[in-house]
Structure 1
């Protein structure tokens, strides 16, 4: 498992219900644009706004849509261990390639309890388990290189989505675990540095709108053409800035992605409250900025 993997948006209708047709159309477009795999039910997929039944159905729609063309990394993490086990077992039965299990959130379990959480989930399923190391959206500190290496050596963790403010952990993990552990960069601030440092791939919500260019960036890195890769990342920087310094004050990243898709005439769906979409005036501002 390598390459560019969009953390796919979940499409909701104006009535806030899961829009299966729009979701399938969006996923199909991502595959057509060259995505090597898809992350479904992750942060950009608004998993926290979905019921467990909706999460299961969303994954089924994604697997049906992909139809074997690309693997699916299923977001199955929940705060509770029992819920995470149930969602991961469903992902295994549905045909996902692996499960992405987020760090526990809201409550603050100890490091021992967090590691126990992952061990219990891994013992309950044969599906490869990836740690979603995103401390900014969790109630706990990131798992360290030593923690992840230990989980890998125990046969618990097969990979990590490293969504940290720095990229040096990627180099450390590659050195400590070798090729049997998948190390993906999970942010949108330094993919060039992460890929040049050996990351097996890139997962990000930003990839919902720049898939083809991101694939080209990775290909340049793999070819050893860093000047070309730097130029390609420079081309993508304005899109990153739309998220980090939005032209519409207060607009969230998912609203920006949906706005771009809407401007381009692609399936965009709607956010599920409390998240909100851009209104007509804000959409006009975004379009002008392009």
Structure 2
């Protein structure tokens, strides 16, 4: 698969969610069904092993089996794909990066080593080492709000200066001042990806795309929303307001009750009903009870019916 560049990295990318059996093993048959449906949805690409993909729970054998499946299906379909090689251990992350690079994805997603906070020089050393191991495959760096090391715009600029293999970042975004700082520091050398439900407002201020929780709810609907963002931004912003209202009113309480982000993303997929994924997440995290799904689906269909039109 052809490598991505910062200018080519854009749009809505859908994650690979893990259907989990009662014994906590991955149901690869159901996973393949879900993957095929995402491939047909119109999203711009597929990625693995973000937070929603529960990368921190995978054994190395599961990691390899998942990536072999995704690489095979995406290559056959001509779908751009990124492989997540993240691990809280930097050493294990390097091993995962090397194996991911053998499959020649469009990019490899990574996080910084995460047990201790890193200083700026350690951040640079981490990304440089990861890029060297990636063997020419570009990198995308995840820096979520719960990472111990938070990277300011100016340090992203230094990374862009010194690690040409880094083409994109996944960040929570910020206010107008933050986007101005990012533009000044990065100057278009990194594609900025934000949370899926903030894509229209992020796009208006310079974001290129989203590794999208909205695609968990509806891959096809998320792709349609991106088309609206690029053709009628005011209408897309109005949609975002309704979407965020639904999430605040109905998904936010689940998070405040202690459910993790993977549990919330799988709940969104269950609400969307587009694949047999289920709401179960792996230990030690709590799963959302599927009995809650019908009422949540009704609320979603009332708030954002556009997501549920068509396949």
TM-score (structure 1 length as normaliser): 0.86
Offset at 1:260?
4.6
1:77 counterpart SS class: coil
Offset at 1:53?
2.5
Structure 2: gaps (5+ residues): 1-8, 301-311
Change beyond 3 A, Cα 1:12–1:132: same
Change beyond 3 A, Cα 1:255–1:120: closer
Change beyond 3 A, Cα 1:164–1:103: farther
Matched residue, 1:131: 141
Offset at 1:161?
1.0
Offset at 1:101?
1.0
Matched residue, 2:186: 177
Structure 1: gaps (5+ residues): none
Q: Please point out which of 88, 91, 95 is paired with 1:82.
A: 91
Matched residue, 1:282: 292
Q: Please point out which of 2, 6, 20 is paired with 2:10.
A: 2
Q: Please point out which of 231, 239, 247 is paired with 2:238.
A: 231
Matched residue, 2:4: none
* Match status 1:40 vs 2:48: yes
Change beyond 3 A, Cα 1:251–1:120: closer
Distance 2:94 2:228 in 1: 39
Change beyond 3 A, Cα 1:283–1:250: farther
Q: Please point out which of 237, 254, 262 is paired with 1:254.
A: 262
Change beyond 3 A, Cα 1:100–1:228: same
TM-superposition CA deviations, 1:249-281 (whole Å, max 9, x none): 444443344345445362114311112323354
Offset at 1:11?
2.1
Distance 2:165 2:70 in 1: 25
Distance 1:279 1:262 in 2: 11
2:276 counterpart SS class: coil
Change beyond 3 A, Cα 1:214–1:168: farther
Matched residue, 2:128: 119
Change beyond 3 A, Cα 1:276–1:123: same
1:11 counterpart SS class: coil
Q: How many residues align?
A: 286
Equivalent pair of 2:218/2:269 in contact (CA under 8 Å): no
Offset at 1:68?
4.3
Q: Please point out which of 110, 113, 136 is paired with 1:104.
A: 113
Distance 2:67 2:179 in 1: 28
Offset at 1:43?
0.5
Change beyond 3 A, Cα 1:232–1:283: closer
Equivalent pair of 1:255/1:271 in contact (CA under 8 Å): yes
Distance 2:50 2:176 in 1: 21
Distance 1:248 1:171 in 2: 31
TM-superposition CA deviations, 1:145-169 (whole Å, max 9, x none): 2212222222242211113454654
Distance 1:26 1:166 in 2: 35
Offset at 1:20?
1.5
